[in-house]
Amino acid sequence: MNRKIGAILVLLSLASLLTAFTICIDPGHQEKANLSQEQIAPGSSETKAKVSTGTRGVNTGIPEYVFNLELSFILRDRLQEEGFDVVMTRERHDVDVSNIERAELANSAAADLCIRVHANYSSDPSLKGMMLLIPSPTATYTAPIYEESRRASEKIMASLQQIEGITSLGIRVREDMTGFNWSKVPVLIFEAGFMSNPEEDALLASQDYREALVEAIVSGVVDYFLSRR
């Protein structure tokens, strides 16, 4: 067998392997917030808004919910090209899907990984950088999904950090995320950058930058699932 044919067979084998995995993409927020309350975790007395407002580009004026869905569509298409089965928690802006319901959609799909897509805001306009948020290893509801959530995030972060000029704020653990606490599948939040920072706001509006982010995420996701073989 020559090298070219061998390489093709390897690629076909990898593509076949990836079709066994389901990824849920959750484009954060929606056109209209739902500020009625829901439990932050099963049985918890603490509550949070079902869906918060989200932010908006300081210069571009792009609403976060629009950015989140547009980036998610690019991510969906690329993951499908790699062979993954992909489910979305929303594909329109005019929906009303709470954070609990988003987690339950991923659970119902038996997703192997849920990627929640967001952008960030700070009152300090100089603050910029992407980050990944993951569930806690010690919280009652998220301890079972922590290890795989961490492993996936480390692969994705390593890939994202290869983008020239990108600012990384690392991987951060959160215990107060409704979408984490109700999840039964590995999950992470990709905070793509600060829309309150003029420079990063412009980057996030750029198609080239969006595609670079997606390519890095997809590369990290593929690395993660191939490492599970």
Quick: pLDDT tens for 23-37: 999 999 999 999 999
Say whether pLDDT at 211 is over 70: yes
Say whether pLDDT at 83 is over 50: yes
Tell me the average pLDDT across 145-174.
97
CB 181 within 8 A of CB 100: no
Tell me the average pLDDT across 208-214.
98
Say whether pLDDT at 9 is over 70: no
Cite the beta strand spans of 40-186 per DSSP E.
Answer: 47-51, 85-88, 113-120, 130-135, 168-174
What pTM was estimated for this model as a whole? 0.92
CB 75 within 8 A of CB 87: no
Which DSSP letter does residue 92 get? Answer: S
Say whether pLDDT at 225 is over 60: yes
Tell me the average pLDDT across 59-85.
98
Percent of the chain whose predicted confidence (pLDDT) is above 70: 93
Which DSSP letter does residue 138 get? Answer: S
198-205 and 207-227 helices, crossing angle to 10° = 80
Tell me the average pLDDT across 162-186.
97
pLDDT at position 6, please?
46
pLDDT at position 5, please?
47
Q: Which residues contact 175 (CB under 8 A, 6 or more apart)?
A: 135, 136, 138, 139, 142, 181
Say whether pLDDT at 16 is over 90: no
